[in-house]
Amino acid sequence: MKKKILSVLLALTMVASLAACDNGGKASEESSSSSGAPSIDASKMEEAEKAGADFENGKFKETKKIVVEIYDRGNDGGSDPENNLYTDYIKKGMLEDHNVEVTFKKVPRWTEVDEINNLLAAGTAPDVCVTYSYPTIQTYANMGGVIDLAPYIEQYKSEIPNLWNWLGETNIYWDRDPKTGTLWCVEAKLAVSNRVITFVRQDWLDKLGLKAPTTKAEFESMLVAFKDNASTLLGSDASKIVPYSVSYDVGWRAATLIESFLDPAMSDKEYYVNGFDDRKLTQNGTKEGVRLLNKWYNMGLMWNDFAQYGSGDTTEDDMMKAGFVGAFTHNWDYPYRNGDDSINANLQRNVGPNAKFVAIDPFEDKNGTHTKFVSGPIDRKVFFPATNDEPLASLLYLDWISAPEHIQYLQIGDEGVTHDVTADGAIQVKAATGNAIMNSGMNIDYTITVNGLKLTSDELTNKSRALNYPGIPAEDVVNSHKIANTDLRVGKNVNVGAIEAEEGIGDTLSQKRDIAYDKAVVASTADFDKVWDEEIKNYLSAGGQAIIDERTEKWEEFFGSSDMLK
Amino acid sequence: MSDGMKKGIRSRSSVPVVKKKVSFKVYMKRYWQLYVLLALPLIYLLVFKYIPMAYVQIAFKKYQLNKSIWAMPLAKKNGFEYYIKAFKDRDFLFALRNTLLLNLKDLVFGFPAPIIFALVLNELPFKGFKKVVQTIAYMPHFLSWVIIGNLSLQLFAKDTGMVNMLIKSLGGSSIPFIAESAHWVRTYIGWGIWQSFGWNSIVYLAAIAGISPDLYEAASMDGAGRFQKMWHITLPSLKPTIVVLLIMNLGYIMGGGMERPMALYNNLVMDKADVIATYVYRVGIKGLQFSLTTAVGLFQSVVGVILILTANFVSRKLGERGIW
């Protein structure tokens, strides 16, 4: 009897569960049919028009609410990225100027793509999202998860003058589909196109009587000299020396070295076709760059454990700060960032007043120049997920944070607190304390439409750039800036619409790329070719080749037999 | 069933109760508290195990964000597009092989460990010492894999790992414990055993505690030594427990969590370390290919069920109790 009752109960639960699914399914089916991909826009547009009715002189009559994504860098001594001095400034301004109530939602900086994926999939993404990964946006757009910005940008053009003035057609329409005219995101603008350069310990060079290297050969002998003189340089810590340091992301952290093996005169077509990977894995020449790294690794000139530590780990930075690292390649201002906690400030505390990293430009290409391949003037991508019910309010937000005076305040803060004004009117940033500390340099995480110092006038910007890093001598910054701007090859916008083969594969390929770089660097010299070829084959068969093929096809469709863009 | 019930009720009202059978009503009245208690786990199963089963169909459909699962279009090749894709994907085949190999090695080296530990512990004469050892052995079970992953890095990294620093200071050269595939597999298995043998020994210790002391006394009278008692009494008494656990472990051979490989792997050992769970996470969740990974997940479950059924069948054939 008991058994029978039990089985009935079980059967009932099964039936009930099926029924529940069925109902749930039907319900959502109905709702989805009313908001299918094409009709989303229509209904949103209607809403927007309705919104237009209670919208006058740039202000909503009824308070609108939007949620904005903000990177959380989790840095020591920082403030809550969702609530601090600067968010209050934005919130207050948006409420006063447009009657829009802004809330921030933090997303961990180093896993932002994963996090945004999860939020989008769960339907809880912020109204204004920002990411560095266009493929993520494209993938969600194909699933109907992203708003097409094109009609709004046109319709509200007069309401968003600051956004138009700052980004211009170039950046706003950078990703517009050439055939359908859809626009899934706007591209933030790079105020300076400086990318990565190489740094070396000035005090080590002085101690060993070396000159700053200007070629790869000189750089290599400098690394050897560091290693051979480890006990002079580090004393009892000699065994901890790392002459040249990279992270697991070799393609980025040795970019200038790798790029020096690329042909500076490479055609736009070749650069584009092989250019899905921004770490240049599939470009011609990269292999030789990695071969040199492999040689250095096997000579004991590099950090053995670089591949073990993942994204966002601070072990490598800590080694730099402790003074064990001789040279490294990184963002053009990396050792100067973060005020009191900058690498150079830490070095001075830990090692001595003369210890510091300075910029050098040692990797010559085949012409003897120092070509650096930088992207176009684009940076982060800002998009609105389909769950955004306030496209106008969200656009007004982008407009507000693109206003020159707002950018300036967010970048330099209050006079006397985060900056001083010098005699000739330049802005000298100083280390802030307490509430005024910025979680990211120049509040880059809040100024999502700009990357790089951009003050209200160009003159002021140029005057102030070198004074932007508290505690760092101006000439060091000027030197870095100069090197980062030497022999630039700026990327062009090859707009051929969506490449289907790139959809949903970005993460997989990025990891394969890192694996290829890491394994090739640590391979034994004899195995290098075998390992590299094997890993490249892997990368290509996992989707890399399909992308190259489709890019070639699309290029030929749009630009015919021409190899260069106009 | 319902017929019988109705008959029961009718017979009760017309004929005086002769049979011992109790009617449904009376039965429920008497035991309803137990059924209410049973309802909680049933609801749990319903919400978290049965309702999600409806979503299995994503494996046969082209996933779309803005449609319900019932409205998504069928995938190409009669819905089998993603299965074909998976079995052509080198990464998936590697993950499949690694899942089987790592779990098999876990079974071979990890399964006997708690049994041996329980036997050894059982022979300890000092109760206090035994308790201390037991508690220390449990502890790693409560550490999350993320912590163990970091421990592993701090101990075994080539330059910065403590163990390698020690080896180097003694004049040796560092061992790539976690930087080279073959070494990594050993490290992985080692951490697994370290983390779980203490905890897994509990069930064996409980079984040992249930063995009648008479048996040992009788054996001693017959002059059996320690090892003979262990071999002829303890182990045979543990046999049913061992078999049940072995069957359950066989079911996991296609499965396994993702935390452990994820926390321990790195770019240099992915060819040996990527398992189905991490593949599903990476390709499916991060790469947004939900259909592909649902297909992989379903395949994994089906094979798991087949393995359990087979093991159960074999064990019953061999005269042991199965799990059902």
Has residue B249 got a pLDDT over 80? yes
Asked if residue A23 belongs to a domain, the reply is: no
Nearest CB to B282: which of A40, A140, A508?
A: A508
Q: Which residue has the higher pLDDT, A48 or B229?
A: B229
- Can you give the pLDDT at residue A504? 75
Tell whether A64 and A167 lie within a shared domain: yes
- Can you give the pLDDT at residue A549? 97
Asked if residue A20 belongs to a domain, the reply is: no
Q: Which chain A residue's Cα is nearest to B169?
A: A239
Is some CB atom of chain A closer than 8 A to the CB atom of B310?
A: no
Has residue B145 got a pLDDT over 90? yes
- Can you give the pLDDT at residue A50? 57
Query: Where is average pLDDT lowest: A27-31, A547-551, B320-324?
Result: A27-31
Pair type for strands A419-421 and A427-429: antiparallel
Buried b (16+ CB within 10 A) or exposed e, B250-265: bbebbbbebebbbbbb
Query: Where is average pLDDT lowest: A430-439, A475-484, B300-309?
Result: A430-439
Q: Which residue has the higher pLDDT, A25 or B229?
A: B229
Taking CB atoms and an 8 Å limit, are A32 and B65 in contact across chains?
A: no
- CB interface of B with A, residues 166-225, below 8 Å: 168, 174, 178-179
- Can you give the pLDDT at residue A46? 60
Is some CB atom of chain B closer than 8 A to the CB atom of A145?
A: yes
Q: What kind and span of H or E run contains B6?
A: helix B2-14
Tell whether A350 and A261 lie within a shared domain: yes
- Can you give the pLDDT at residue A27? 37
- Can you give the pLDDT at residue B8? 44
* Most confident among A26-30, A139-143, A535-539, B123-127 (mean pLDDT): A535-539
Query: Where is average pLDDT lowest: A29-43, A271-285, B30-44?
Result: A29-43
- Can you give the pLDDT at residue B11? 44
Tell whether A180 and A233 lie within a shared domain: no
Taking CB atoms and an 8 Å limit, are B65 and A144 in contact across chains?
A: yes
Has residue A37 got a pLDDT over 50? no
- Can you give the pLDDT at residue A19? 42
Q: How confident is the model over B201-222, as pLDDT tens digits? A: 999 999 999 999 999 999 999 9
- Can you give the pLDDT at residue A389? 93
Domain boundary among A418, A437, A470: A470
Across all residues in chain A, what is the average pLDDT? 88
Asked if residue A41 belongs to a domain, the reply is: no
Mean pLDDT of B23-29: 85
Is some CB atom of chain B closer than 8 A to the CB atom of A8?
A: yes
Mean pLDDT of A263-291: 95
Q: Which chain B residue's Cα is nearest to A386?
A: B66
Across all residues in chain B, what is the average pLDDT? 86
CA distance B266 to A524: 19
Question: What does the DSSP assignment read for A175-219?
Answer: T--TTT-----EEEEESS---EEEEEEHHHHHHHTPPPP-SHHHH
Do residues A400 and A161 lie in contact, with contact meaning Cβ atoms separated by under 8 Å? no
CA distance A178 to A182: 8
Taking CB atoms and an 8 Å limit, are B50 and A305 in contact across chains?
A: no
Has residue A219 got a pLDDT over 60? yes
Contacts of B179 in chain A (CB under 8 A): 304-305, 307-308, 522
For B168, counting Cβ atoms within 10 Å of its Cβ (0-12 exposed, 13-18 middle, 19+ buried), the class is middle
Has residue A199 got a pLDDT over 60? yes
Which structural domain, as residue segments, surrounds residue A402?
47-191+379-470
- Can you give the pLDDT at residue A471? 87
Has residue B152 got a pLDDT over 90? yes
Tell whether A240 and A336 lie within a shared domain: yes
- CB interface of B with A, residues 54-93, below 8 Å: 54, 63-71, 89-91
- Can you give the pLDDT at residue A160? 94
3-state SS, residue A269: helix
Gap from A524 CA to chain B (nearest CA, Å): 12
Q: Which chain B residue's Cα is nearest to A113?
A: B286
CA distance A6 to A2: 6
Tell whether A167 and A267 lie within a shared domain: no
Angle at B99 between CA B96 and CA B100, to 5 degrees: 90
Mean pLDDT of B32-45: 92
Tell whether A526 and A546 lie within a shared domain: yes
Mean pLDDT of B90-111: 92
Confidence of residue A180 (pLDDT cuts 50, 70, 90): very high
Has residue A128 got a pLDDT over 50? yes
- Can you give the pLDDT at residue B5? 45
Residue A221 token pair:
């002998």
Asked if residue A486 belongs to a domain, the reply is: no
Pick the CATH number of B77-317 from 1.10.3720.10, 1.20.1050.10, 3.30.1330.60, 3.40.50.280: 1.10.3720.10
* Most confident among A42-51, A100-109, A500-509 (mean pLDDT): A100-109
Mean pLDDT of A49-55: 65
Q: What kind and span of H or E run contains A108?
A: strand A100-108
Tell whether A180 and A247 lie within a shared domain: no
Beta strands in A30-63 (DSSP E): 55-56, 59-60
Residue B64 token pair:
């779309």
Q: How confident is the model over A436-488, as pLDDT tens digits? A: 888 888 899 999 999 989 999 988 998 898 888 888 999 999 999 999 999 99
Confidence of residue B2 (pLDDT cuts 50, 70, 90): very low
Asked if residue A484 belongs to a domain, the reply is: no
Mean pLDDT of A23-41: 39
Tell whether A356 and A498 lie within a shared domain: yes
Is some CB atom of chain B closer than 8 A to the CB atom of A113?
A: yes
Confidence of residue A94 (pLDDT cuts 50, 70, 90): very high
- Can you give the pLDDT at residue A502? 87
Taking CB atoms and an 8 Å limit, are B267 and A143 in contact across chains?
A: no
For B175, counting Cβ atoms within 10 Å of its Cβ (0-12 exposed, 13-18 middle, 19+ buried), the class is middle
How many separate domains does chain A show?
A: 2
Has residue A514 got a pLDDT over 60? yes
Q: How confident is the model over A225-276, as pLDDT tens digits? A: 999 999 999 999 998 999 999 999 999 999 999 999 999 999 999 999 999 9
Tell whether A267 and A214 lie within a shared domain: yes
Q: How far is CA A280 from CA A8, A135, A270, A379, A500, in A?
A: 63, 17, 12, 18, 20
Confidence of residue A313 (pLDDT cuts 50, 70, 90): confident
What's the CATH number where A151 sits?
3.40.190.10
Mean pLDDT of B298-308: 88
Mean pLDDT of A31-36: 37
Do residues A532 and A286 lie in contact, with contact meaning Cβ atoms separated by under 8 Å? no
Mean pLDDT of B18-27: 74
Has residue A83 got a pLDDT over 60? yes
Mean pLDDT of A341-348: 94
- Can you give the pLDDT at residue A354? 94
Has residue A42 got a pLDDT over 60? no
Residues forming beta bridges with residue A245, ordered by sequence position: A328
Gap from B132 CA to chain A (nearest CA, Å): 35
Task: Give percent of chain B with pLDDT exceeding 70.
Answer: 92
Tell whether A95 and A184 lie within a shared domain: yes
Q: How confident is the model over A541-556, as pLDDT tens digits? A: 989 999 999 999 999 9
Asked if residue A15 belongs to a domain, the reply is: no
Mean pLDDT of A303-320: 90
Tell whether A101 and A232 lie within a shared domain: no
Tell whether A505 and A521 lie within a shared domain: yes
Q: Name which of B288, B291, B293, B294 to mutate to probe chain A: the one with the most chain A Cβ atoms within 10 A of its Cβ.
A: B288
Confidence of residue B6 (pLDDT cuts 50, 70, 90): very low
CA distance A130 to B119: 58
The ranges assigned to domains in chain B are: 2-59, 77-317
Asked if residue A25 belongs to a domain, the reply is: no
Q: How far is CA A79 from CA A10, A386, A436, in A?
A: 53, 31, 9
Has residue A330 got a pLDDT over 90? yes
Size of interface A-B (CB pairs under 8 A): 133
The yes/no answer to whether this complex scores an ipTM above 0.90 is no
- Can you give the pLDDT at residue A44? 58
Name the residue among A474, A209, A450 with its Cα closest to residue A358.
Answer: A474
Asked if residue A4 belongs to a domain, the reply is: no
The alpha-helical segments, DSSP class H, found in A323-467 are 343-350, 391-402, 404-412, 458-465
Taking CB atoms and an 8 Å limit, are B174 and A26 in contact across chains?
A: no
Taking CB atoms and an 8 Å limit, are A541 and B90 in contact across chains?
A: yes
